[in-house]
Structure 1
């Protein structure tokens, strides 16, 4: 089946053709028809399957058709997402798919001045893409009217629950009309998510895309056994051997992100970091530089990079193994997008072997081991520029001690 076969607005069909969308992915093929019919949908699908387009295409088409026949004001659709980066990304996707239609999309998120957002809302929009905090701030101040919402979309619902947004979601439901269409999209499902989903949807069409291998077939992924203190040397080697490649490095905490960046700085390797401690303007700048290729190395935490679609990522490095095994799939899924090939390497220290076992259990298969000979291991460590830096630092320290001794003798 092709997108031309769907009963969607011709403007959207032209946009999809210009974007290079030819045939729907599995999640799009199964989601678009019931959404167009006005059905509630509960969809579970792994990262990189085309979930955003699965709901953007039919929703934009429906609202475009309604606006062509009637001129009603007010927000008609809310897309609730867990992070600011994801809000921006989804807005860009809606704008690209909805170009030349009557549908106006806008996103709001915290960390920036709300006044420009209020000004834009006052001009009127059809689709609001929002993070919970800023959306409730604007609603409580009277800048957001939610009484005419016809469609509610929850994207990355599992991640929203992980971040503690359950009460926010429940509060939002109380503000919306009871009669509405609800679309619930999540990468994973457990009892908490299932309970929330069924409290929101009505006679929902359930869609689950669960391939035998959760990792996209376009991605080669492997694990290297490396001592915790030696990881920076192997990261340096990969970066230097692939100087023209775009490399996304995942670490466990924001403190680790800055430490790794400092280590690379000592090696005279430029990198950027993204995590929750950064100001929103800095985060936007970082993503822009990495997306454009102006920066080749980005060090990220799971919270900041979950769900983000960054084009042409050649390598994903799991510098630290994730504590949640499903996050391994989300991380490596940042490469090998669409028809492109990607490569992912995980560094596993002795203290992380239990985490590796959990990941392999989740995948239902072992991760390929990247064999490193003893000589190769030692060479990687001994020829690192960070070792040279450490030696220089020790020599400077020795020289200062020697000067100190000479001064004491002189006295």
Structure 2
């Protein structure tokens, strides 16, 4: 039986055509005959798990019914007007169909023009991209790679793409910054670009779902795929301003928390081909959108980026609920009925051709063990087998269509990136601020400082600002706009980003020179991911551990988990004479910050009490009010003294910051005299502007062990030869 057309849609079509159309007839139904209304049965939400059970959760709706009230002897009675359309005149339906065909003609001509344009400017893979030729990429992807200057695949891409292009499931393990996004992004875009351009009149079905653990990573993946698609667009499509731009061949959208949920739902209503989402926001939308839940059963691609982070115990329970929607129903779980008949004529079941990609930098449960918890000996004699790895846990949660997924492990030995250099500073916890300040002045560059708590960032941020260090916070309690803004500010020269482990995974923060572990990470995989924010794409990077005496045990356990020795990380050589002078600056800045914090706290407490009393409509206690009045009488005098003290401290700190730090043995008057003349470094432009007496060098160039070795070799060379 053909469904009745929607009255609002028909009215809209008639309005656009300028015709009133045939009149509708109205039918009155009394309130006692509700069963006579044209009710329509709805399918139940898939997350309830009750779709197909008779007699449970029956949902119905009715359309085209107006409620009116009529006066009767018994008072007002609700009446219902059912709007029904008259039969269409002959030829009307045909004209609409013909109109749709006419509107669809420009779409096919656009595809022909685009293919003709690509044929004229065909890319020669053999000469321009010889290393990509074996993967059989489309012309558009080839042009995108050439425009982005990706002339050769990275090792993870070269190892995974041959299997991915054949439809195999991939589990990839590679170091951070190795190009994992393109390793799974190219097969997805290759498949979607080879399909016919979707009709703008129909909702795009979801074909690929990429799940990421953090908002920043999801937005970054979306931007990366969008840039790749735009780079390969024809020049005519990119520069067309007068003509209306056609819908994109492939649509990519991000669904993350911290942004407008209504706007994201509107994007999904239009339909997207590739959806990049965080588990929490995606599960919230699925709860209100049954169409999205059904589309997950018919996915073509499923990607878990940074998978080990999302399957840790106690994290991302929503991910398990989402993965359940992608599972195939076994014959035992299916309910006999018309909807569960076995496919015939060799047809595949819905979602049977799902291709799964799992990528991460670390996939080992040993790396996720909390190093701060003491190890307990296992005295069980029954279970002597090795504990299950994270890969085993993942295989249990995922429904791989491939009976034997291709596992590609390119993680370096000890999880150490080849272009990364490590160093450490052994100091007291109370001196970490001074050593950190010394590092910023001694080795200028863009630095990313990791702390374990938000309170640590809030304490350290004003201190760095008083010392004229451009520092910006990044943690979970910031609004999403502020987080993205601070990430953009990181690109400024010598900027410092104070972050929690929210920035440790997946983010491609541009040009990070140094990663500093101000507080030792709790797990070894977090240490690996932190280090992965620098030395990306074969660039150099430096990682520094700031180790207090009470943290030695954690560092030792961390190195043991990485199957490395503790002494492998060499200690950085520190100019102690300069450090002592910098400590005076840090102590003074800390004193200013403490005074300002006390003033803010007192004002905050007083304002909070007054606002609470006004909100509740009560009067403050007489003792409190009298004390408040007394304080107000003496406020001006006390405030002047307090502000004067802080102003004097700031002036003293400003004078200290304006005076360069001069090293031991350097003459402040004559550049050619002293035990450490600086004239040569000054002429060569290698003199450090903040620390006179040391060269402007990269971090890691001066290690304590290297200096000791050099001194020993110099002594041996100077010693007289034995007769």
Task: Report the TM-score when normalising by structure 2.
Answer: 0.52
Structure 2 counterpart of 1:38, from 145, 167, 172: 167
Give the ranges of 4+ consecutive aligned residues of structure 1 lying more than 6 Å apart after TM superposition.
69-72, 391-397
Alignment partner of 1:77 is 2:193: no
In structure 2, relative to structure 1, the CA distance for the partners of 1:393 and 1:295 (3 Å cut) is: closer
Structure 2 counterpart of 1:161, from 308, 311, 333: 311
Structure 2 counterpart of 1:267, from 454, 462, 467: 467
Question: Which residue of the partner structure matches residue 378 of structure 1?
Answer: 580
Structure 1 counterpart of 2:251, from 93, 104, 109: 104
Question: Which residue of the partner structure matches residue 321 of structure 1?
Answer: 520
Question: Which is further off, 295-304 or 214-223?
Answer: 295-304
- Separation in structure 1 between the aligned mates of residue 223 and residue 326 of structure 2, nearest angstrom: 25
Gaps of 5+ in 2: 1-129, 234-247, 329-351, 366-387, 599-637, 642-723
Question: Which residue of the partner structure matches residue 247 of structure 1?
Answer: 447
In structure 2, relative to structure 1, the CA distance for the partners of 1:162 and 1:379 (3 Å cut) is: farther
User: 1:238 Cα shift?
Assistant: 2.1
In structure 2, relative to structure 1, the CA distance for the partners of 1:329 and 1:392 (3 Å cut) is: closer
Alignment partner of 1:187 is 2:361: yes
Counterpart mapping for 1:228-239 below 5 A: 228-239=429-440
Question: Which is further off, 66-75 or 16-25?
Answer: 66-75
Question: Which residue of the partner structure matches residue 274 of structure 2?
Answer: 127
User: 1:76 Cα shift?
Assistant: 0.2
In structure 2, relative to structure 1, the CA distance for the partners of 1:372 and 1:270 (3 Å cut) is: closer
Kept in 1, the 8 Å contact 2:463–2:589? The answer is: no
1:125-168 alpha-carbon deviations (Å, 9 max, x no partner): 10000001110111111163424311110110111123744532
Q: Which has the larger radius of gyration?
A: 2
Question: Which is further off, 85-94 or 114-123?
Answer: 114-123
- Separation in structure 2 between the aligned mates of residue 40 and residue 65 of structure 1, nearest angstrom: 20
Question: Which residue of the partner structure matches residue 264 of structure 2?
Answer: 117
Question: Which is further off, 330-339 or 59-68?
Answer: 59-68
Question: Which residue of the partner structure matches residue 407 of structure 1?
Answer: none
- Separation in structure 2 between the aligned mates of residue 152 and residue 229 of structure 1, nearest angstrom: 48
Kept in 2, the 8 Å contact 1:82–1:163? The answer is: no
Question: Which residue of the partner structure matches residue 55 of structure 2?
Answer: none
SS of equivalent residue, structure 2 residue 195? helix
User: 1:187 Cα shift?
Assistant: 2.1
Kept in 2, the 8 Å contact 1:4–1:13? The answer is: no
Structure 1 counterpart of 2:587, from 365, 370, 387: 387
- Separation in structure 2 between the aligned mates of residue 391 and residue 98 of structure 1, nearest angstrom: 53
Question: Which residue of the partner structure matches residue 152 of structure 2?
Answer: 23
In structure 2, relative to structure 1, the CA distance for the partners of 1:140 and 1:370 (3 Å cut) is: same
Gaps of 5+ in 1: 404-411
- Separation in structure 1 between the aligned mates of residue 279 and residue 318 of structure 2, nearest angstrom: 6
- Separation in structure 2 between the aligned mates of residue 374 and residue 288 of structure 1, nearest angstrom: 35
Structure 2 counterpart of 1:91, from 218, 222, 235: 222
Question: Which residue of the partner structure matches residue 425 of structure 2?
Answer: 224
In structure 2, relative to structure 1, the CA distance for the partners of 1:69 and 1:131 (3 Å cut) is: closer
Question: Which residue of the partner structure matches residue 81 of structure 2?
Answer: none
1:184-213 alpha-carbon deviations (Å, 9 max, x no partner): 112222335223332322321111113224
1:7-26 alpha-carbon deviations (Å, 9 max, x no partner): 11111111112212122122
Kept in 1, the 8 Å contact 2:457–2:499? The answer is: yes
Task: Report the TM-score when normalising by structure 1.
Answer: 0.88
Question: Which is further off, 359-368 or 148-157?
Answer: 359-368
- Separation in structure 2 between the aligned mates of residue 110 and residue 349 of structure 1, nearest angstrom: 37
1:232-263 alpha-carbon deviations (Å, 9 max, x no partner): 112112223344x2111111111112211122
In structure 2, relative to structure 1, the CA distance for the partners of 1:75 and 1:373 (3 Å cut) is: same
Kept in 2, the 8 Å contact 1:214–1:363? The answer is: no
- Separation in structure 2 between the aligned mates of residue 393 and residue 327 of structure 1, nearest angstrom: 31
In structure 2, relative to structure 1, the CA distance for the partners of 1:357 and 1:393 (3 Å cut) is: closer
In structure 2, relative to structure 1, the CA distance for the partners of 1:318 and 1:392 (3 Å cut) is: closer
In structure 2, relative to structure 1, the CA distance for the partners of 1:193 and 1:67 (3 Å cut) is: farther
1:253-304 alpha-carbon deviations (Å, 9 max, x no partner): 11112211122123232311111111112112111222x4278110111123
1:364-401 alpha-carbon deviations (Å, 9 max, x no partner): 2421222336545534424xx2223356789999xx9x
Kept in 2, the 8 Å contact 1:271–1:295? The answer is: no
1:89-135 alpha-carbon deviations (Å, 9 max, x no partner): 11111112233372211110111211111111222210000001110
Kept in 2, the 8 Å contact 1:132–1:165? The answer is: no
- Separation in structure 1 between the aligned mates of residue 556 and residue 467 of structure 2, nearest angstrom: 33
User: 1:355 Cα shift?
Assistant: 1.7
SS of equivalent residue, structure 2 residue 498? strand
Kept in 2, the 8 Å contact 1:108–1:128? The answer is: yes
In structure 2, relative to structure 1, the CA distance for the partners of 1:256 and 1:395 (3 Å cut) is: closer
Structure 2 counterpart of 1:212, from 388, 397, 413: 413
SS of equivalent residue, structure 1 residue 162? coil
Question: Which residue of the partner structure matches residue 338 of structure 1?
Answer: 537
Q: How well do the aligned residues superpose, as a CA RMSD in angstroms?
A: 2.7
Question: Which residue of the partner structure matches residue 184 of structure 2?
Answer: 55
Alignment partner of 1:306 is 2:306: no
Question: Which is further off, 312-321 or 4-13?
Answer: 4-13
Kept in 1, the 8 Å contact 2:447–2:494? The answer is: no
Kept in 1, the 8 Å contact 2:472–2:496? The answer is: yes
- Separation in structure 1 between the aligned mates of residue 280 and residue 316 of structure 2, nearest angstrom: 12
SS of equivalent residue, structure 2 residue 151? coil
Structure 1 counterpart of 2:302, from 152, 165, 181: 152
- Bigger relative contact order, structure 1 or 2, given CA contacts below 8 A and separation 6+? 1
